[in-house]
Structures are given as C-alpha cells and as structure tokens.
Amino acid sequence: MGGMRIGLIAVAVLALIGYGAIAYMLPSMENAKAKEAAQALVVGAETAKQQVAAAAEKTGELAGSGKDVKATTRTDTSHGQLRWIVSEGGAIRGWNDQNAIEIVLTPSLQAGKITWTCKGYPHSAMPASCGG
C-alpha cells in the first residue's frame, strides 16, 4: 500500500510540473503570436500609406488624402482577419480581433513630404516601428 501511495504522489508531482511548464509557456507563445499579428498589421498598411502619401504630396495637404483609399481586409491563416480603415485625413487604423491588437498610423506633412507616427495596443505586442 505504501508503494502505491508513493507512486500516486510521484504521478501527481509530475502532473503539476507538466502543468506548470504549460502555464509558463502558453503566455509567451500567445505574446509571440500577438507580436507577429501586430507586425502583419503594420506591413499590411503599406499600400494605404503609399496612396495617402501620394495624394497628400500631390495636393500639398492631408485633408482629403485618404478619401479614395480603400484598404482591403485580409484573412491570415495564423492571425485571422486583419482589417484597416483609412480616414479622409489620411490616418490609418488597423486591428485584429483574434489577438486583440490595434494600431493607428497618423500622417504628418512637412515641406511637402509625409512622415508617419505609429502607436498600438497592447504596447507589449508592438514592433519597434509602432511604439513597441
């Protein structure tokens, strides 16, 4: 009977160790997925950024630079739907529901050239180019 108890205790201890390892690894795996999805959002906004920049540089102002820019939703096998919307003033908002992340790219026009500021949430998932 004593040997059976020791065996059950050993199994319980191994199960707890296994559970602890999984509990430790899952958040880091989820964080890596969120980082990849955030990077995909930033990269996916490039075409819209180029269109806004071209319109703004042509007219010399941001007003109306995003009016005719259509950003297409993309479904990614790893991250789910990646979506973007462009405001009339050229700001681009991107989001991914599956990973609960969002980015905002804000244009600035100085001396006829456009520059972009990127901010995102959650901050821990953002690439360096987007405030991370």
pLDDT means per 10 residues in the chain (132 residues)? 56 50 48 92 96 94 95 91 97 96 96 94 94 82
Report pLDDT for 100: 93
Report pLDDT for 128: 94
Residue pair 96/37 in contact by the 8 Å Cβ criterion: yes
Report pLDDT for 9: 62
If we measure between CA atoms, which residue out of 90, 78, 88 comes closest to residue 41? 78
Domains of the chain: 2-130 (3.30.700)
Report pLDDT for 112: 87
Report pLDDT for 8: 55
Report pLDDT for 76: 87
In the chain the beta strands, taken as DSSP E runs, fall at 74-76, 80-86, 92-96, 101-110, 113-121
